[in-house]
Amino acid sequence: MSWKDKTVRDFIRIQEVIHLELNPVKRMAKVLEIATKHKYDDLMQLPMQELRALAKREEWAFNAPDGDSMYRFKFKGRRFEPIVDATRIKAEQFIDGTELSKGTELELIQRLNILMGVITEETTPRWKFWKKRLTDQDKFAMVLDMPVAYVYPNVIFFCRVWATLLEDIPSYLEKMAEELTATAHGMQKDMDGQQP
């Protein structure tokens, strides 16, 4: 097995265990229960050496998913396209993304489906114009069932773009304010020169 076989829901559950379970043996068994078809009680009955060997075989479950972001993908007969061009981000998406990306690492992971839903657009081919688009809530629920290999690399890519945007926005806004102030002063001078 690998992350390609696991859903976003599984990834969130595994990360919750990794972040919240303090006992390392219980943590290992709980992660392996989610990652494999073994039951927790059966895993706890295994000799420690066998449990460690199983954890070593399923090492992927203890690491973050890897892979490249995807420009477009299909899931359950629908096409999705993550926003990779910062100029296509709508104000609403920017605000939602900024709010969702606040908090601890675990809180961010727990909102992974919503963040992916915000930064992903459903695309419909022209010849399927009658197909009803998903509501945001339906899209957020569908993301939970998507393979984490589709979602995680796209969210990581977007968060890196996001960080760059957040650094650049204040200087851009200051520059725009200076230009608007200069324009306003110029208009004021023009109006002052026209008065009798």
Total number of residues shown for the chain:
196
Q: Are 61 and 32 in contact (CB under 8 A)?
A: yes
Q: Are 8 and 144 in contact (CB under 8 A)?
A: yes
pLDDT value at position 53? 94
For residue 195, pLDDT over 60 is answered with no
pLDDT digits (tens, 9 = 90+) for 153-194: 877 777 776 667 666 666 766 777 787 787 777 766 666 666
Q: What is the mean pLDDT of residues 4-31?
A: 91
Tell me the torsion sign for CA atoms 150, 156, 158, 161.
Answer: negative
pLDDT digits (tens, 9 = 90+) for 42-72: 999 999 999 999 999 999 989 888 877 777 7
The 10 Å Cβ neighbour count of residue 102 is 9
Torsions phi, psi for 90 (to 5 deg): -85, 155
Predicted TM-score (pTM) of this structure: 0.74
pLDDT digits (tens, 9 = 90+) for 94-137: 777 777 777 788 888 888 888 888 878 888 766 666 677 788 88
Tell me the torsion sign for CA atoms 145, 147, 150, 154.
Answer: positive
pLDDT value at position 32? 94
Listed residue (72, 81, 64) closest to 3, CA to CA: 64
pLDDT value at position 142? 87
